[in-house]
Amino acid sequence: MCSPKVMHHVHQQLQSGTSRFDRRALFRTSAGAAATAGALAFGSRSAFAQSATPAATPIAGGSGVTIAASTVVDLTHTITPDFPVWPGNESFQIENLSTVANGGFYTNKISLYEHTATHLDAPAHFVEGGLTAELLPVENFVAPIVVIDISARAADDPDTGVTPDDIIAWEATYGPLPAGAFVAMYSGWEARVSDPDTFINLDADGVQHYPGFTPDAALFLVEERDIVGIGVDTLSQDPGNSTDFGAHIAFLSAGCYGIEGMAGLGELPAIGATVIVGGPKHEAASGGPARVLALY
Amino acid sequence: MCSPKVMHHVHQQLQSGTSRFDRRALFRTSAGAAATAGALAFGSRSAFAQSATPAATPIAGGSGVTIAASTVVDLTHTITPDFPVWPGNESFQIENLSTVANGGFYTNKISLYEHTATHLDAPAHFVEGGLTAELLPVENFVAPIVVIDISARAADDPDTGVTPDDIIAWEATYGPLPAGAFVAMYSGWEARVSDPDTFINLDADGVQHYPGFTPDAALFLVEERDIVGIGVDTLSQDPGNSTDFGAHIAFLSAGCYGIEGMAGLGELPAIGATVIVGGPKHEAASGGPARVLALY
């Protein structure tokens, strides 16, 4: 599901002498391929070109899906002004405009940074010329979700991350990752969301500490497996103490999307559920709040 | 799926001597029942009570669903600063915060009125004490979607609306409305979204003209059928020239939700698709942007 062309370029770049997570090098290799997909530059307008011509899109190349479900799980946290955000970001804001008693109906204005609460990262978030969120293929928003549970390890080591060995061990138990998978890390961090201090978990030097995908695992997934996106129950795809954003760069350069700040992953089976990603659809979106549901 | 208790009260009220769409009377009858479901008053905080304890919820009372799909249709318009809004409302705003070239990653701040573009109306939008959007049961976000096509009539008469007879005629062709249905009006208005003037269609007196559900059809659906929500491809559940908001009041008083400004309804079969509603999940939401997909 990730772009083979992009991945080939990324792979070549990584095999050459450049620093493994040299962000500029990766951006250069991915920008051309992503741009051909029609990404909007910020500030340009498509005059509702997407709006007026919604397309019926085959799922998974037309082979289709069958979802037999008796349960729906909400993988989305409630956004509030108190929701923990990336250090330095503004919190979610809501301003009441009218009420039923005073105006006849109840409405609000909301303002937020795109990367707030349970939200989507589009390729354009880290990749110059990458797809913005509203242009992501909708067929990639319906996917088999697998959950890699590292919560036991994370309870002792907030700096841990999903490794290639974790993925291989998961497959030894549950079988090969399904094609077009959405791969979620469950670290147990979702339970900390009511306490921003422990969710962000800053040390005395202002460094964040929580789990994420290691860059090696991200490269393994986009190069060796067939995925459409990934999710974490923490504030970032990368571990909080990352300095190179290697997981972001690997996933987003490959055209995959990420969902950060997921809820409810502890309710899901390791395999067998289908995720439905209600991603943001404003023009030129680097990302934005997503309503994410799972059926199983 | 709508609350039988609320509907019984609404029905009693309508049968008594009160004006048929006396908003205050309807609000009184619905407020009590809705409040027992734990609706948040604006400004109150739940300290992430919902966030920390997402529930796995049975679909359709536990009987389950099977979705066999080969196609996904995006029923969502792209939100832009030019998207037509209710007269007097502010447009969607986006402010760039950083770019890949200048800051290492691309992000924006967005600000919008909740009822912008393809969006959800929660019961609380018109019903004092009604459920706010983030508290709507997620099992109602996965539903069989039926499309009632009045586009031929609407092409000649923008003030037309879905009537009980339209619903009965639809059933004569396609069979009874499925239980827990999402009922969408397709008027053809979605094609006008690129031209705000014809989408809102104001006359010289400032009155809007576009189709919606008639109040009679809304009452018929919530009293005589089993629905979870409704959708329109126009700016409002009610026809644009409505003065009593009878459809809003009937649907929302019954605990149903509405999706306004839908896209892509012309791509769907009249019956046989499943809608997945990615509704907004900010606290105390009267509604908000929704990513709506259909599978068939």
Global ipTM? 0.84
Nearest CA in chain B to A115: B107
Q: Where is average pLDDT lowest: A54-68, A210-224, B188-202?
A: A54-68
Q: What percent of chain A has pLDDT over 70?
A: 79
pLDDT, position A59:
64
What are the φ and ψ backbone dihedral angles of B78, each rounded to 5 degrees?
-80, 130
What are the φ and ψ backbone dihedral angles of A106, each rounded to 5 degrees?
-105, 125
CATH number of B4-88+114-295: 3.50.30.50
pLDDT, position B28:
27
Mean pLDDT over A22-40 rounds to: 30
Task: Please state whether B243 falls in left (phi above 0), alpha (psi between -120 and 50) or beta.
Answer: alpha
Residue A102 Cα distances to A106, B59, B88, angstroms: 8, 37, 17
* pLDDT tens-digit map of A121-179: 999 999 999 999 999 999 999 999 999 999 999 999 999 999 999 999 999 999 999 99
Q: What percent of chain A has pLDDT over 90?
A: 76
Q: Alpha-carbon distance B290 to B119, whole Å?
A: 5
pLDDT, position A10:
41
Q: Which of residues 73-92 of A touch B (CB under 8 A)?
A: 73-83, 90, 92
- Give the gap in angstroms from C-alpha B18 to the nearest C-alpha of chain A: 19
Q: Where are the domains of chain A?
A: 4-42+70-295
Nearest CA in chain B to A82: B47
For residue B98, count other CB atoms closer than 10 A to its CB: 14
Mean pLDDT over A196-223 rounds to: 97
Residue B58 has pLDDT above 90, yes or no: no
- Give the gap in angstroms from C-alpha A4 to the nearest C-alpha of chain B: 23
Q: Where is average pLDDT lowest: A92-101, A138-147, B49-58, B95-104?
A: B49-58
Residue B135 has pLDDT above 60, yes or no: yes
Judged by CB atoms closer than 8 Å, whether chains meet at A74 and B57 is answered as yes
User: Which is higher by pLDDT, B174 or A8?
Assistant: B174
pLDDT, position B67:
87
| DSSP strand pairing (A273-278 vs A107-113) | unpaired
Judged by CB atoms closer than 8 Å, whether chains meet at B74 and A138 is answered as yes
CB of A110 within 8 Å of a chain B CB? The answer is: yes
pLDDT, position B60:
52
* pLDDT tens-digit map of B8-32: 444 443 333 333 333 333 332 333 3
Judged by CB atoms closer than 8 Å, whether chains meet at B70 and A62 is answered as yes
Residue A216 Cα distances to A228, A238, B31, B185, B224, angstroms: 17, 11, 54, 49, 58
Residue A289 has pLDDT above 80, yes or no: yes
In the numeric block, which tokens belong to residue B28?
A: 């009184």
Judged by CB atoms closer than 8 Å, whether chains meet at B282 and A110 is answered as yes
Q: Which candidate from A52, A56, A96 shows the least CB-CB separation from B73?
A: A56
pLDDT, position A220:
98
Choose, out of B67, B108, B141, the residue to mutate when testing the contact with A (most A CBs < 10 Å): B108
Q: Alpha-carbon distance B71 to B59, whole Å?
A: 22
User: Which is higher by pLDDT, A57 or A85?
Assistant: A85
Residue B253 has pLDDT above 90, yes or no: yes
* pLDDT tens-digit map of A234-260: 999 999 999 999 999 999 999 999 999
pLDDT, position B69:
83
Residue A146 · residue A128 · CB < 8 Å: no
Mean pLDDT over A90-111 rounds to: 97
Residue A9 has pLDDT above 70, yes or no: no
3-state secondary structure at position B136: coil
Q: Alpha-carbon distance A119 to A113, whole Å?
A: 10
Instruction: Tell me the range of A21-25, A26-30, A104-108 where mean pLDDT is highest.
Output: A104-108
* pLDDT tens-digit map of B265-284: 999 999 999 999 999 999 99
pLDDT, position B64:
75
Nearest CA in chain B to A46: B80
Q: Where is average pLDDT lowest: A60-64, A68-72, B95-99?
A: A60-64
Residue B129 has pLDDT above 90, yes or no: yes
The per-residue pLDDT of chain B, averaged, comes to: 84
- What single string gives the DSSP state of each residue in chain A? ---HHHHHHHHHHHHTTS-TT-HHHHHHHHHHHHHHTTPPPTT---TTHHHH---EEEGGGGT-EEEEESEEEE-BPPB-TTS--STTPPPPEEEEEEBTTTBSS-EEEEEEESS-SSEEEPGGGTSTTPPPGGGS-GGGGEEEEEEEE-HHHHHH-TT-EE-HHHHHHHHHHH-SPPTTEEEEEE-SGGGGTTSHHHHH-B-TTS-B---EE-HHHHHHHHHHS-EEEEEESSS-SS-TT-SS-HHHHHHHHTT-EEEESB--GGGS-SSSEEEEEE---BTT-SEEE-EEEEE-
- Chains A, B: CB contacts within 8 A come to 323
pLDDT, position B17:
32
**Neighbouring residues of B228: CB distance < 8 A, sequence distance ≥ 6:** B1, B2, B140, B143, B180, B181, B182, B256, B257
pLDDT band at A60 (very low <50, low <70, confident <90, very high): low
Nearest CA in chain B to A274: B67
pLDDT, position A212:
98
Residue A2 has pLDDT above 80, yes or no: no
- What single string gives the DSSP state of each residue in B212-276? EE-HHHHHHHHHHS-EEEEEESSS-SS-TT-SS-HHHHHHHHTT-EEEESB--GGGS-SSSEEEE
CB of A282 within 8 Å of a chain B CB? The answer is: yes
The per-residue pLDDT of chain A, averaged, comes to: 84
CB of B152 within 8 Å of a chain A CB? The answer is: no
Judged by CB atoms closer than 8 Å, whether chains meet at A278 and B291 is answered as yes
Mean pLDDT over B237-259 rounds to: 98
Q: Which candidate from A54, A114, A295 shows the least CB-CB separation from B263?
A: A54
Residue B145 has pLDDT above 80, yes or no: yes
Instruction: Indicate the angle between helix axes B23-36 and B4-15, nearest 10 degrees.
Output: 160
CB of B59 within 8 Å of a chain A CB? The answer is: yes
Residue B39 has pLDDT above 90, yes or no: no
| CATH class of the domain whose range is A4-42+70-295 | alpha beta
pLDDT, position A68:
83
Mean pLDDT over A78-106 rounds to: 96
pLDDT band at B68 (very low <50, low <70, confident <90, very high): confident
